[in-house]
Structure 1
């Protein structure tokens, strides 16, 4: 109704109500299961629909529901007034205006209904339509439908009983379990009676006791409550998969004649549950104390106050592949100031790649007006080249250029560190070589995942 030009709306209209509208359509001949289901819910929909007043020209005052109190209905007329059965809503508006004719309203309707009508805002520029009366935007939702259904009186004029407290808790807890969406949806369908098991058994002459449904609720409520109390208990956390695989095994038996043992069903359910939990909630084992001490010794260390530390990393594979390089600048509190990464092409050796990276890093520090810097890296080949420059004469022009650039900084030093102290810069360099599409930037402030990792290392 809200989207009559959609493909499904046009298909249904052409087949079932080509010359009418949806609200007054019939079941028709040879209706599909989908159409039967739609008409089954139409009665509830009609009870909650209210006229969305536009110019009011197509809406009869007495034959459509256009006020809500608390259910949609037509307004009540005054007993001492003359009733015009052809009266339209547009006749209640001032000429060429979207304002109500208050005098005419008070003359035609009860005072109570007049006040309700005066709170409505007609949209003069559009035609009259329908909207769902129990959401702010007029669009139907499942939640509003269930709430509206609870408020409807039964045939005796009494309100329908709401769900017991136990079942309300069950419905709320159902969507909070840790399981794939398809399994949660299956459990919801099972509780809602949408899985046709009982009807199929009754059709085969098997009698189902009336207390079966309540047992089903109580059993599942027990499992859900235990799951919330002990979410990591291996005996509990696999129960959604067990129910799901029991249902699949039942279908295999009913429709394909394939029979599975209870042991195989249980084993497969637990296996899938363990895989899902491992992917979505990976278990991190607590390292032994000696390993923690080693990590603390090898973790990134903060520079002295007033000094910045620039960690850089290099990843070279061969002279045919791009070489990745990255650097991260942090202050004495461990806060990231700047960060950048790049790729180098046609680099003959890993030693040359490390020296080119040093040249690039120093150049970036000069261009960003940094002065007091500690350069830290796990590049052993660059360190060896600077300590023994005459042994690598082919690289002398490069090392001399780096030394010249370093004199443009106020204070600087180089520190060689183990790999664990340089993991952030090195990992980004590796990602460049591997072709990962990390965003290239020089980030001021907080580059999200980098800051989290650096903060963890600094705390360690």
Structure 2
């Protein structure tokens, strides 16, 4: 169908529904939603509310994308906050970027206008904003007889994909492998795998921490001979990065206890097939006992010997 990311495609469709409510406030749907969720306020500024329905939650999700395309057209500038509202006409409407660290959060656009001459206060604008934004503001026409209005610029535009990611998506389906493997790769890159972390990000009440994970280290001398190794299990680790930090800490603490000096740490999988196999034994073989021992494990003797002569066997 031409879309690369289901989540963005779904949000774009919901954004269209939100735009219909905002642009046609007299429609039946808009009047029903207004009476229930934003009776006294504006649709663009309303919160999700208490006890919202699934339909309203979905519309609010589209509303978030719609808000990115809302542009304030400057009239007299009294209703537009300088730092909060999107009033610079860029590819994506946004507030201006500040130059100084002294920022007045209550500043409105009318404070940037010289009321005596009906023009922009150029010295103040160049003092407050970066050069690119200041030039853009000074080029905007003023109409002090009108109030500020809201309009939409590209409400259905999905987030821009970086060039590297575009190339990755275009080459994904050209990988020479089984169709089911390509589909699995696409689901993993699109964040569509039903793992705990993704379920938690979509509002499902699950424990996203790792129940059990294992770390291991193995030391060698200059000739590649294994001197010592260790394994340790952890529980309730929130990410693989945290597990790696715990592994580094455990290795440094153990080697300090063993009085090892001039140690070079290497964490890549290609150079640590033996340590990877020891760590995987925690979750794969349920070996949760932590220990430190000399030499190498007997069940990995063949792999260690092959590493010593430069031959790596993938397990």
Question: TM-score when scaled to structure 2?
Answer: 0.41
Q: Which has the higher contact order (CA 8 A, sep 6+)?
A: 2
- Bigger radius of gyration: 1
